[in-house]
């Protein structure tokens, strides 16, 4: 069997997906199961409301939702780049930038209580992701 070679952008999408799962199971899941197993909450009591709960939980819910909202956009861009057969160090760097900035944004979102400073940091990391994705699209369009 031949092992497929995955490009750096495809690996970055995979990393983004794994990060999304880690946030879900490492924060939201742990919080919920701890409350269920200690009898503080019934299993059927949970809703999709990200503002339910206290402390880190609502921030982790929001960070997870942010990942879910942005993963398809990044995936579509990388799919188009990969389908076009483009390979360039700039695309690799931009894809890894998206992943790194996403991880930083999520970490800030989960770790820091709401404040102007935390919001500026989250927005800064998000803006880096958006710029990197637009740059990837520009490279793709220029290559067509």
Q: Taking residues 11-33, what's their average pLDDT?
A: 95
Phi, psi of 120 (to 5 degrees): -60, -40
Residue ranges per structural domain of the chain? 8-143
Are the C-beta atoms of residues 133 and 77 closer than 8 Å to each other? Answer: yes
Task: pLDDT band for 53, please (50, 70, 90 cuts).
Answer: low
Element of type H or E holding 110: helix 89-111
Q: Is the pLDDT of residue 47 over 90?
A: no
Burial status of residue 74 (CB atoms within 10 A of its CB: 0-12, 13-18, 19 or more): buried
Task: Kindly report the CATH number that applies to the domain delimited by 8-143.
Answer: 1.20.120.550
Q: What is the mean pLDDT of the chain?
A: 93
pLDDT of res. 51: 64
Per-residue pLDDT for 134 more than 90? yes
Give the mean model confidence (pLDDT) for residues 44-57.
Answer: 74
Q: What is the mean pLDDT of residues 122-143?
A: 98
């Amino acid at each position: 069997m031949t092992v497929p070679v995955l490009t750096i952008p495809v690996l970055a999408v995979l990393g983004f997906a794994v990060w999304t799962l880690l946030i879900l199971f490492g924060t939201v899941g742990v919080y919920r199961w701890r409350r269920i197993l200690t009898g503080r909450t019934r299993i059927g009591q949970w809703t999709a409301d990200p503002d339910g709960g206290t402390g880190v939980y609502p921030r982790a819910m929001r960070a997870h939702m942010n990942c879910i909202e942005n993963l398809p956009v990044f995936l579509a861009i990388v799919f188009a780049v990969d389908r076009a057969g483009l390979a360039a160090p700039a695309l690799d760097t931009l894809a890894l930038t998206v992943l790194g900035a996403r991880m930083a944004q999520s970490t800030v979102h989960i770790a820091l209580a709401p404040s102007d400073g935390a919001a500026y940091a989250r927005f800064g990391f998000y803006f880096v992701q958006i710029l990197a994705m637009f740059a990837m699209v520009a490279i793709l369009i220029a290559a067509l």
